[in-house]
Structure 1
Amino acid sequence: MRRPRPGDDRGQISVELLGLAPLILVVLVLLWQFVLVGYTYALAANAADKGARAGTATETGGAGACAAAAKKDLPGAWQGGATIACGAEGGLWKAKVGLKVPVLFPGAGNFPWTVTGTAGVAEEEA
């Protein structure tokens, strides 16, 4: 049987990886959560923009069209907690969309704060 030489470091990489694995996983989870936060901001802004544009349509516009357009393209996990407010104000049609930020997986749970996206479009004249 061969005895290891003093200072032999075989297996050191495995031990270091085992020690760093939890840190690597935590960093990956945090990065994923930041991606979800950014995606939620993008969804809220896009939904508000679509709602405001739909609200200004001369024939089919209004608050109902605004809310429907704002909610139409939202993924299912974000639709449940969505708050949509539409209305005309000083020659502008404004839409405000509030979405909850999911925790790690959309649909599993939400953070207690709301991400808000707002948009305004000039009203069309008949």
Structure 2
Amino acid sequence: MAIEFLGMVPLILITLALLWQVVLVGYTYTLAGNAADEGARAEAVGGDCAGAALRHLDGAWAGSAEPSCSTSGGMATAVVSVEVPVLFPGVGGLFRVDATAGAVSEEGLKP
């Protein structure tokens, strides 16, 4: 029985590592989406879009983030690109996740 358990330990550890990586991918998508939403809201009222987006990212994800903002046709848009970490936040990157959000621009509207 002990031999069977020792044979299964690597398989169990690999499965746990893969599950953890899936969690990190999902969390990165969530963080990028929230940062894009906050950036678009800030851009809509004439605030600092990139600063707002970066404030809503955790430290390890903020280092690889690339926010960009624009306003056209009465619509404020923010795009945030974040790198998915490999097993530990702040270590390497598998691929980039892009999130886009928009908000109606409030600049120039009468109170």
Q: Distance in 2 between matches of 1:41 and 1:28?
A: 20
Residue 52 of structure 2 is aligned to residue 69 of structure 1: yes
Q: CA deviation at 1:77?
A: 0.8
Q: How does 1:1-126 map to 2 (within 5 A)?
A: 13-57=1-45, 61-62=46-47, 65-111=48-94, 113-124=95-106, 125-126=109-110
Q: Distance in 1 between matches of 2:73 and 2:32?
A: 23
Q: Based on CA coordinates, which of the two structures has the bigger radius of gyration?
A: 1
Q: Distance in 2 between matches of 1:87 and 1:109?
A: 29
- Secondary structure of 1:95 counterpart: strand
Deviations 1:67-107 (A, max 9, x none): 11000121111111111110112221000000000000011
The answer to whether the Cα contact below 8 Å between 2:85 and 2:92 also exists between their aligned partners in 1 is yes
Q: Distance in 2 between matches of 1:107 and 1:43?
A: 14
* Uncovered stretches (5+) of structure 1, i.e. residues with no partner: 1-12
The answer to whether the Cα contact below 8 Å between 2:44 and 2:104 also exists between their aligned partners in 1 is yes
TM-score by length of 2: 0.92
Q: Distance in 1 between matches of 2:12 and 2:72?
A: 50
TM-score by length of 1: 0.82
Percent of pairs identical after alignment?
55
**Aligned residue pair count:** 108
Q: CA RMSD in A?
A: 1.0
* Uncovered stretches (5+) of structure 2, i.e. residues with no partner: none
- Secondary structure of 1:26 counterpart: helix
Q: CA deviation at 1:108?
A: 1.9
